[in-house]
Structure 1
Amino acid sequence: MYSTLIVARMDPSASQDVAGLFTEFDSTEMPRVMGTRRRQLFSYRGLYFHLQDFDSDDGGEAIERAKSDPRFVAISNDLKPFIGAYDPETWRSPSDAMATRFYYWEDSE
């Protein structure tokens, strides 16, 4: 399994709007097209965390391929009023907002 964590800025009062957009998006075939197995959204003091788990290790590549799909373009545009880049000076695509995992542990039992 492959995971990505996107970090951005979000007004906490927008959480229901953002959840609604993803509820609609995730009811389409797009998660399967992208290989998304699970999506979790978190907020903390004005920050937005988007944790996405993929079936295979090519999750980042799947997102890159999906970026031109009209449904991906639409949700990206729909999220703009609610989600802002963590660092607007360096942000060009979702990959510029992905956190780097530096530790992983999983119960082997």
Structure 2
Amino acid sequence: MHSTLIVARMEPAAGGEVAELFGAFDATGMPHRMGTRRRQLFTYRGLYFHLQDFDEADGGERIEDAKADPLFVGISQDLKPHITAFDPETWRSPKDAMAERFYHWSAR
């Protein structure tokens, strides 16, 4: 399994609406197309954490491939009023918001 963690900023009161947007998005075929196995959203003091798990290590590449799909474009637009880049000066694509894992342990 492969995981990505996106870090951004979010107004704390927007959690319910952001969850609804992802609920509708996840009810489409897009998660399957991107290889998403699980999605978890977290917030902490104005920060937004979007953890996605994939069956395969190419999850980030499959997201990049899906970026032109109207469903992906649509949710990206719908999220803009609620979620902003952690560092707007350096953000160019979702890859720029992905945390880098530096340690991993698993019982398996």
Runs of 4+ in 1 over 2 A off after TM superposition: none
| Identity fraction in percent | 71
Q: 1:32-77: per-residue Cα shift (whole Å, max 9, x none)?
A: 0000000000000000000000110100100000000000000000
Consecutive unaligned residues of structure 2, counting only runs of 5 or more, are none
TM-score computed with the length of structure 1 as normaliser: 0.98
Consecutive unaligned residues of structure 1, counting only runs of 5 or more, are none
| In 2: Cα distance, 1:16 partner to 1:106 partner | 32
Q: How many residues align?
A: 108
Q: CA deviation at 1:30?
A: 0.4
Amino acid at match of 1:99: A
Amino acid at match of 2:57: D
| In 2: Cα distance, 1:11 partner to 1:2 partner | 28
| In 2: Cα distance, 1:40 partner to 1:50 partner | 6
| In 2: Cα distance, 1:27 partner to 1:59 partner | 19
Q: CA deviation at 1:26?
A: 0.1
TM-score computed with the length of structure 2 as normaliser: 0.99
| In 2: Cα distance, 1:23 partner to 1:83 partner | 16
**Alignment RMSD (CA, Å):** 0.4
Aligned pairs (5 A) from 1:69-80: 69-80=69-80
Aligned pairs (5 A) from 1:7-86: 7-86=7-86
